[in-house]
Amino acid sequence: MLSKHVTFTGLLLATLGFGLQSLKAEWYPPSEISRREIIEASGEVLAMPDLPISAEEDLYRIRAVEMEWDMGAMVYQPQDDSKIPTDPAGRKIGLFLIHGGSGDHRSKDKEARFLSSKFGFKIVSMTYPGRLYLMDPDRHWPGDTIKPDGSVRTPIWHRDKPITRDQYDLVEETSLRPKYGTLLLARAKPGTEFYNRMSGWPVAFEEAGKDLMARHFPAGEYSIYIHGHSTGGPFCFMLTQRVPNIVGVLGMETTPFGYIGRVQARPSGNPTGKTYGDMPFNSLVIRTWRDKARYMGPEALMGEGPKALMRLPMLMEEVHESWERTKALPNFKGEGPISFGSIQGLTEAAKATAKRLNLNLEETQALVDQYVGYSRELRGLNVKPVPPVIFGVSLASADHTPYNYRKITLPMLAAMAPPPKVRLVEFKAGIHGYSRAEPDLPMGPFPAVVKLWNEAIMKGYYLDYAKKWGALDR
């Protein structure tokens, strides 16, 4: 049976006796991968030999909005860099990873090592501004997010400028309780270091991402394939049009642009219609065991059905056990204005930064436009379009459901000018944390996901875009 992607020209040539062997149908990923297929693919990839790799932390300092920011990332690559593969455009393959909302680059260490050792890719795994615990070489945050003295864990944006207790008020927010429980917010006081950082970090994020990719994946030598997990997704999409040699999005449980994610999040168990993004921009969410519960509850329901409630005491214990295992991660979150596309929050943050910098009205409006632009695609003449995208979703993911993608995400992407090439792939296994082990899948569906990513790159899903935009060196 002929592929549905074979063209009329191909059929004509076949009729004339030339055959189809010299014509390559355009490759697309399958719309669905069964659990059996995931298990087979996982076994195949896990059995592949491991390349010796190196893993080095890149600590660096950037300057953005007239402030210095201490940043960090991890860089992984084969010890023999000749093993780094090239894509069909003839450039080395670089993968840029952005972690989810509660983590830092350690959150993607297992996945990064796997990608580099099995396929030879060079990997850069970025940490959000303020997330690294710079006082410990292992980067483990000490204690709990809420300290015995009533203070809370706060970001380290600059190692010599700590955020002290007098710089914020603690606020309990209950308007999102149906989905999130009671939220504890550290609300920065105007005029403080904390307030200035909370208003300035969006620019620091952009500058840090561009700096990392320019240094580790120079244009003309590398094609960059970018992946953002969960909250990392909107930042992944934000960077796609700001870095010339990003040629594709490798999605798995990847939230889209903030303004799309805002609409996508509303049906996901949140009857109020409000999101993190509706908090004032100077509000840092302090995570607790509740953030584990809001994932583990829906995952138990989707995996076990209503009978999961019959073991509620055990499930509650599992929530607290999971929290104990992950307390050394940052577990605070202030990225809501971008990840949920809050025009109000981004506008207020930009105006606060503009006031600090003494900008005039025209300069202030330009900064507002820049901030709001972080939450959606860039438009206009001579603007790099959004590159091709693959969205992968796990079987038991409360926020990333095929229904939401088909009803909301894909139509909103199709309405862009020009619309990007997009495909949705349903993996019939796994949870939002897509590399967590489950029966017959030691790394969840992740090895099968990686196999699909590799096929997409090597079989030309991103090729036309890579040829056009990967050669740019601006």
Determine phi and psi for 71, rounding to 5 degrees.
Answer: -125, 165
Q: Would you state the structure tokens that stand for residue 11, as one six-digit string?
A: 């059929």
CB 422 within 8 A of CB 389: yes
Could you list the pLDDT tens digit for every one of the 474 residues in the chain?
233 333 333 333 333 333 333 335 789 999 999 999 999 999 999 999 999 999 999 999 999 999 999 999 999 999 999 999 999 999 999 999 999 988 999 999 999 999 999 999 999 999 999 999 999 999 999 999 999 999 999 999 999 999 999 999 999 999 888 888 999 999 999 999 999 999 999 999 999 999 999 999 999 999 999 999 999 999 999 999 999 999 999 999 999 999 999 998 765 545 556 677 788 999 999 999 999 998 899 989 988 999 999 999 999 999 999 999 999 999 999 999 999 999 999 999 999 999 999 999 999 999 999 999 999 999 998 899 999 999 999 999 988 999 999 999 999 999 999 999 999 999 999 999 999 999 999 999 999 999 999 999 999 999 999 998 876 544
Give the C-alpha separation, 236 to 275, whole Å. 20
**pLDDT value for 271:** 52
Q: What is the 3-state secondary structure (H, E, C) of the chain?
A: CCCCCCCHHHHHHHHCCCCCCCCCCCCCCCCEECHHHHHHHHHHHHCCCCCCEEEEEEEEEEEECCEEEEEEEEEEEECCHHHCCECCCCCEEEEEEECCCCCCHHHHHHHHHHHHHHHCCEEEEECCCCCCCCCCCCCCCCCCCECCCCCECCCCCCCCCCCCHHHEEEEEECCCHHHHCCEEEEEECCCCHHHHHHHHHHHHHHHHHHHHHHHHCCCCCEEEEEEECECHHHHHHHHHCCCCCEEEEECCCECCCHHHHHHHHCCCCCCCCCCHHHCCCCEEEECCHHHHHHHHHHHHHHHHHHHHHHHHHHHHHHHHHHHHHHCCCCCEECCHHHHCCCHHHHHHHHHHHHHHCCCCHHHHHHHHHHHHHCCCCCCCCCCCCCCCEEEEECCECCCCCHHHHHHHHHHHHHCCCCCCCEEEEEECCCECCCCCCECCEEEEEHHHHHHHHHHHHHCCCCHHHHHHHCCCCC
Task: For residue 332, list its beta bridge partners.
Answer: 286
31-469 carries CATH number 3.40.50.12280: no
Q: Where are the domains of the chain?
A: 1-26, 31-469
**pLDDT value for 272:** 55
**pLDDT value for 101:** 87
Give the C-alpha separation, 442 to 266, whole Å. 33
Longest dimension (CA), the chain: 83
CA 187 to each of CA 120, 183, 195, 306: distance values in angstroms, whole numbers, following the listed order:
44, 12, 8, 38
